[in-house]
Structure formats: structure tokens, C-alpha cells
Amino acid sequence: QVQLEESGGELVQAGDSLRLSCAVSGLTYSNWCMAWFRQAPGKEREFVAAIRWLSGSTRSADSVKGRFNISSDNARNTVVLQMNSVQYEDTAVYYCAARSAYWSTDPREYTYWGQGTQVTVSS
């Protein structure tokens, strides 16, 4: 049984840093694409960043490039989203997701999802 569990969301001020973690269990092989998405109230779920579990290669949305960094700790089965210089517009529920094989920025192509963690940025 695959489980993804996010943690680390909280209320922060604009300009602060925040670290989100996704604990992964039940994935039986390493050729997965792990991603972070976010969804603000009244908006569609949008791609934030992704990492290929096997190679460590990453991709991120233009809106977060230079501020957010995705990484993985394969030994601990954890995917981390380091968020720096957060902005009010980053306020959203952040979700961890997994799909087998290649990249995708489309949330419909992801198989497994966590429950989400709330990030609120005060201006």
C-alpha cells in the first residue's frame, strides 16, 4: 500500500523560509517521479516541482524557480520542498504526488497523493 504523508506547512511571513517534507512508503521500485503541487482557494491544482527518484534530476515551475528547491533523501524515503523568500501568492495547500516513469506537470497523470499540508503566507 502506497502512502504519502506531507508535513511542515504553517503560517509564515513574506520573505521567510519553509521546509515541507513528504514521507513515502510502499513504493517498491525506484523509477518514480515525485512531485509537489499546490492548490489555492478557488484555483486549480498547479505544478510546483518534481524530481526523478532514480536520477535525482529536477524540474520546477517558472513561478518558483530560484526560490524553491526539491530534493530527495532516498535512504529515508523522503521528498523535501525547500521554500525560500515565500510570497503571499504561495499561500495554498501543498500536495505530494507520485507517478511511475517520466515527467509530468499534469496532476491528472499522478497516481498517488498525500492529504496535503497548509502553507499560509502573511503579507
For residue 45, what is its C-alpha cell?
Answer: 491544482
Per-residue pLDDT tens, the chain, 123 aa: give them. 899 999 999 999 999 999 999 999 998 767 889 999 999 999 999 999 999 988 889 999 999 999 999 999 877 789 999 999 999 999 999 999 999 878 899 999 999 999 999 999 998
Q: How far is CA 64 from CA 1, 2, 14, 36, 60, in A?
A: 32, 28, 14, 12, 7
Determine the pLDDT at residue 27: 83
Virtual torsion, Cα 57, 30, 106, 66, nearest 10 deg: -30
**Of the candidates 83, 63, 116, 62, which has an alpha carbon nearest to the alpha carbon of residue 13?**
83
Determine the pLDDT at residue 73: 85
